[in-house]
Chain A
Amino acid sequence: MLDTRTPLVEMNDISISFGGIRAVDRASIDLYPGEVVGLLGHNGAGKSTLIKILSGAYKRDSGSIKIDGRDAAINNPRDAKGYGIETIYQQLAVADNVDAAANLFLGREITTAIGTLDDAAMESKAREVMGRLNPNFRRFKEPVKALSGGQRQSVAIARAILFNARILIMDEPTAALGPQETAQVGDLIKQLKSDGIGIFLISHDIHDVFDLADRLVVMKNGQVVGTARTSDVTKDEVLGMIIAGKAPAGAVAGPGAVAD
């Protein structure tokens, strides 16, 4: 069954090196509206680097990115946001010494008629969004460095969904969270998916990915081992992809698959 719609995102033959290391090597992935694509692989497989190219944090050496079927020029995070791409980074990317509302709106502040910051408006909107996400959150006036890991993560997530993202990248969003908060993030992903948002979900937890993702992509040593529908492969097969780099029958083998 081929999807005939235009993909939201197509990344083709992306490569990037740091010094001598090929962190990402001719990787291709795509994403459709309302779809969750899980990105799996060992530490250092190149997952974060690949999605950082999409979010504008790194510039690719080669390869192309298409958004809605058209070539996209993404050279910095601002460009990516312009395409409706929002990212929740693995290393919590929050500005430590300003408060939650300031973080949610960082770079896109609400201003008053005379151009000054409208802190009241931002804070009330922040309360609304955070209320949906994490109803227990109350510490709006403190710099976020005073918050717990989970609270900081909810700030980062709220920040990403506040601006009606069409493409959401979540790099290990639950790594710093407890079980309850992790379940909340899972619910949130389902909700966003039903809103038609496309989501790249990077996770080391294969169970999470099977629960939430429609398709999964496995990376190893910077290369894509294979791409598969979650329903077409078993967890053991996926483990085999991650560990041994073997693409099973249910998967489309990538350049990183070992020949047998």
Chain B
Amino acid sequence: MADQHATLAAAHPSRFAQNPLQRFLIATELDTRLLGMVGALAIIWVGFHILSGGLFLTPRNLWNLSVQTASVAVMVTGMVLVIVTRNIDLSVGSILGLVGMVMGVMQTDILPVQMGLGFGHPLIWALSLGAGLAVGVGIGALQGSIIAYLKVPAFIVTLGGYLVWRGAAWWVTMGRTVAPMDPTFQLMGGGPSGSIGAFWSWVVAIVACAAIVLGLYFGRRQRLRFNFPLRPIWAEVSLAVIGCGLAIGAVWVANAYPWPRRIAEAFAEANGIAVPDGGLFISHGIAIPVLIALGVGVVMTFISTRTRFGRYVFAMGGNPEAAELAGINTRWVTVKIFMLMGALCAIAAAISSARLNAATNALGTLDELYVIAAAVIGGTSLAGGVGTIAGALLGALVMQSLQSGMVLMGLDSPLQSIVVGIVLVFAVWLDTLYRRNKN
């Protein structure tokens, strides 16, 4: 009897699938919604490639796309937690603007001039970033406290914040643009020197592949230990191949995009390298902002799935009363979510201002809408309790792909807004259909 149960439990549900595709999906336990998004992304990419006459799927464009996505991608990981707990944050773009200004003033005036560190001091970037993080976390703590303890709806608090922080950003310099940024700080924005080059990119690919394989291995060992159904070996191998293939493919693309000729030549001259016929090929490799975004994605996935805090976020989102009755300090968790969101805004501000090489009053304008849209397209439910970091990152990539694809096609920006708006509504409608069918 007990044996019978054990064998029953150990049979993987993929045994009962009817056709090969279904068997593959069940056996690999891939999230079908996430796969759907990957499919949508593929359609968008190929569509734009054709419509733009072959300009989209080039190393150069894909590399740029990755850099352009980084800032929103960083913020969307926090927005997932905000929305999962049935809140919203409309102020992220304004926080980004204010924090960008603060960091700009720190590195162009306060640190080098007023505190006498001098321009180009190696600590400037870190101190500026630290100050930005402090401001971001502080703003998050303030907004979160008002939401959690004074019970003002997040929509209102952050709508107020949207106005307040944008105004405050102006106040920092009376609207004056701050530039140029510290050279080290600028690396966070990408560009030829803000990329890690071919060698280190391959190192990243190898580390990623190792992590994927080890993750699968330990996952399987854990299941074995507790007598849970195991994925068939072929499914594990497929997952490893797909995962490693994506990592290697992405790095290959990043490495296929060379430095612009003039910069490469200047570099060659400065370092006494002879330029061969046909120009010097120096790979960009992965851009630092992209690396930051990927790192944030990994850390946030870890936080949301492996820590108490993450568990409380999802428990609260599913049933706030039950979470409270279980003894969770739901208010403090809410404050922490908004503090985290503020910190992520600061990181995004560093990426955006470094990329622009300036802090302007308009930095981050409309970002709140892109971030929320990316989270929602990425499968975060506004009803609460549901959402993944990976999905949201994909959502950010979808949004940015639309955006840059339309730029490549030369669409006017009003038309771009119209398309993005329609796509957002359409995507959420599809998602509602999907969820309804699933139940």
Chain A residues packing against B (C-beta within 8 Å): 55, 57, 76-78, 81, 87, 89, 91, 93-98, 102, 106-109, 111, 115-117, 120, 123-124, 138, 141, 143, 145, 159
Cβ of A141 to closest chain B Cβ, rounded Å: 7
Cβ of B170 to closest chain A Cβ, rounded Å: 42
A98 to B319, CA, bound (A): 10
Dominant SS at the B interface?
A: helix
In the complex, are the beta carbons of B329 and A94 less than 8 A apart?
no
In the complex, are the beta carbons of A96 and B318 less than 8 A apart?
yes
A116 to B301, CA, bound (A): 13
In the complex, are the beta carbons of A111 and B308 less than 8 A apart?
yes
Cβ of B225 to closest chain A Cβ, rounded Å: 7
In the complex, are the beta carbons of A98 and B318 less than 8 A apart?
yes
In the complex, are the beta carbons of B385 and A96 less than 8 A apart?
yes
In the complex, are the beta carbons of B327 and A77 less than 8 A apart?
yes
- Count, A-B residue pairs, CB within 8 A: 83
In the complex, are the beta carbons of A57 and B317 less than 8 A apart?
no
In the complex, are the beta carbons of A87 and B325 less than 8 A apart?
yes
Q: Nearest 7 CB-CB pairs, A to B?
A: A97-B318, A95-B315, A107-B327, A106-B326, A93-B322, A107-B326, A78-B327
Contact of A97 among B225, B314, B321, B324 (CB under 8 A): B314
In the complex, are the beta carbons of B308 and A117 less than 8 A apart?
yes
Is residue B420 within 8 Å, beta carbon to beta carbon, of the partner chain?
no
A11 to B255, CA, bound (A): 72
In the complex, are the beta carbons of A93 and B318 less than 8 A apart?
no
Is residue B271 within 8 Å, beta carbon to beta carbon, of the partner chain?
no
Contact of A102 among B225, B315, B329, B385 (CB under 8 A): B315
A108's closest neighbor in chain B, by CB? B327
In the complex, are the beta carbons of A77 and B315 less than 8 A apart?
no
In the complex, are the beta carbons of B308 and A93 less than 8 A apart?
no
Cβ of A102 to closest chain B Cβ, rounded Å: 6
In the complex, are the beta carbons of B226 and A120 less than 8 A apart?
yes
In the complex, are the beta carbons of A95 and B307 less than 8 A apart?
no
Cβ of B4 to closest chain A Cβ, rounded Å: 12
Chain B residues lying within 8 Å of A107, measured Cβ to Cβ, are 312, 323, 326-328
In the complex, are the beta carbons of A95 and B318 less than 8 A apart?
yes
A107 to B312, CA, bound (A): 8
Contact of B317 among A97, A102, A138, A159 (CB under 8 A): A97
Q: Among residues 381 to 395 in chain B, which have CB atoms less than 8 Å away from a CB atom of chain A? A: 385-386
A selection of 17 A-B contacts at a CB cut-off of 8 Å is A55-B325, A87-B325, A89-B325, A95-B314, A95-B315, A95-B319, A97-B314, A97-B315, A98-B311, A106-B328, A107-B323, A108-B327, A117-B306, A117-B311, A120-B225, A120-B226, A159-B326
A98 to B304, CA, bound (A): 12
Cβ of B403 to closest chain A Cβ, rounded Å: 32
Cβ of A227 to closest chain B Cβ, rounded Å: 27
Chain A residues lying within 8 Å of B327, measured Cβ to Cβ, are 76-78, 81, 106-108
**Residue of B302, B312, B326 with most partner-chain A CB within 10 A:** B326
Is residue B9 within 8 Å, beta carbon to beta carbon, of the partner chain?
yes
Is residue B228 within 8 Å, beta carbon to beta carbon, of the partner chain?
yes
Cβ of A47 to closest chain B Cβ, rounded Å: 17
A109 to B306, CA, bound (A): 11
B222's closest neighbor in chain A, by CB? A120
Cβ of B276 to closest chain A Cβ, rounded Å: 50
In the complex, are the beta carbons of A94 and B319 less than 8 A apart?
yes
Chain A residues lying within 8 Å of B328, measured Cβ to Cβ, are 106-107
Chain B residues lying within 8 Å of A108, measured Cβ to Cβ, are 327
Chain B residues lying within 8 Å of A95, measured Cβ to Cβ, are 314-316, 318-319, 322-323, 326
Chain A residues lying within 8 Å of B306, measured Cβ to Cβ, are 116-117
In the complex, are the beta carbons of A138 and B315 less than 8 A apart?
no
Assuming A95-B315, A96-B318, A97-B385, is B307 touching A106 (CB within 8 A)?
no
Beyond A97-B385, A107-B327, A116-B306, 19 extra complex contacts between A and B, CB < 8 Å: A55-B325, A57-B324, A77-B324, A78-B329, A93-B319, A95-B326, A96-B319, A98-B314, A102-B315, A106-B312, A106-B315, A109-B308, A111-B308, A116-B302, A117-B306, A117-B308, A117-B311, A123-B226, A159-B326
In the complex, are the beta carbons of A93 and B314 less than 8 A apart?
no
Chain A residues lying within 8 Å of B5, measured Cβ to Cβ, are 138
A87 to B321, CA, bound (A): 14
Cβ of B305 to closest chain A Cβ, rounded Å: 8
Cβ of A172 to closest chain B Cβ, rounded Å: 15
